[in-house]
Amino acid sequence: MRYWVAFQTLVIKEVLRFSRIWVQTVLPPAITTALYFIIFGTLIGEQIGEMDGYRYVDFIVPGLILMAVISNSYANVVSSFYQAKFQRNVEEMLVAPIPAWVMLLGYVVGGVARGVVVGILVTLVSMFFSDLTVHSYGITLGVFVLTSVLFSLAGFINAVYANSFDDISIIPTFVLTPLTYLGGVFYSIKLLPEFWQQVSLANPVLYMVNAFRYGLLGVSDIQVGVAIHIILGFIVVLFLFALVLLKRGVGIKS
C-alpha cells in the first residue's frame, strides 16, 4: 500500500509538471504534426500518389503519431529526471522509503502519460487531413503504449548519465531523430534497394512504426509478431539496466 501511494504521488507529480507547462510540452507536437500533414501529406503527397495501396497522407499518419509519442515520452523523462538531479530534488525520493523499481515505474508512467496525451492530440489533428481507420485496436493500443514505455526508459537512462543540459539533447538530436526519420515514417522500405532494406532492419524504430501502421492500416513491411517481440525485448533489457543504475546510484549518489 505504501509503495502504491508513493507510485501515485510520483505519477501525479510528473503529470502536473508537464501539464503546467503545456505550451512547451503538449502544444508544439500538435503544431509540428499539422505542418507535416500540410506539407508532406497535402502538398507533396498529392504528387507522390499511393503507397502500399493507401493515399500518401493516410500512409504517413501512423508514423507521425508514433514519432510524436516517441519524442515526447523520451523528452518527458529525460528532462524531468535530469532536472531532479540538477536541482537535487531527486534526494527527496532517495531519502524516502521508495524501492528503485517504484521510482523507475513512476517516471516511466509519467513519460507514458505525456506520450498518450500528445499521441491523442496528434491523432485528433490527423483526422483533419486523413480518413483514419483502425485495422486492429489491440495492436494499435499495444504498440502505442509499449513504444511509449520503451522510450521513457531510454530517456531515463540518458538522464542518469547526463552531466549537463547538452547531454540530454545530444541523444535526441543525433540518435533518436535520425532513427525515427529513417524508420519508415515517410516511406515503405520496399522502395529502398535490397542492401538498404537490410540496413533498415537494424533500426528498432522501423519495427515500432510498422507494427503501429499495421494496427491502423493493416499493412507492414515486417511481421507484426516479430516487431512486438523486439519491442518487448528492448523494454525488458532497458528496464533491468535502468534498475541496476538506479540501485547503484549511478549519477545520483557519490
DSSP structure class, residue 85: H
The CA distances from residue 198 to 76, 135, 158, 193, 202, in Å, are 32, 27, 28, 9, 7
Q: Does 97 bind other proteins (CB under 8 A)?
A: yes
- In the bound complex, what is the minimum distance in angstroms from residue 59's beta carbon to other proteins? 41
Phi-psi region of 123 (alpha: psi -120 to 50; beta: other; left: phi over 0): alpha
- In the bound complex, what is the minimum distance in angstroms from residue 202's beta carbon to other proteins? 36
Q: What are phi and psi of 130, to 5 degrees?
A: -140, 155
Q: In terms of CB distance, is 16 or 236 closer to other proteins?
A: 16
- In the bound complex, what is the minimum distance in angstroms from residue 108's beta carbon to other proteins? 17
DSSP structure class, residue 176: I
DSSP structure class, residue 40: I
Q: In terms of CB distance, is 84 or 154 closer to other proteins?
A: 84
Sort 128 into a burial class: Cβ within 10 Å, 0-12 / 13-18 / 19+.
exposed
Using CB under 8 A, count the residues that bind other proteins: 29
Q: Which of residues 1-40 bind other proteins (CB under 8 A)?
A: 1-3, 5-6, 8-10, 12-13, 16
- In the bound complex, what is the minimum distance in angstroms from residue 116's beta carbon to other proteins? 22
- In the bound complex, what is the minimum distance in angstroms from residue 189's beta carbon to other proteins? 44
Q: Does 95 bind other proteins (CB under 8 A)?
A: yes
Q: Which of residues 98-137 bind other proteins (CB under 8 A)?
A: 98-99
Cβ atoms of 118 and 197 within 8 Å: the answer is no
Per CB under 8 A, residues contacting other proteins are 1-3, 5-6, 8-10, 12-13, 16, 83-84, 87-89, 91-99, 248-249, 253-254
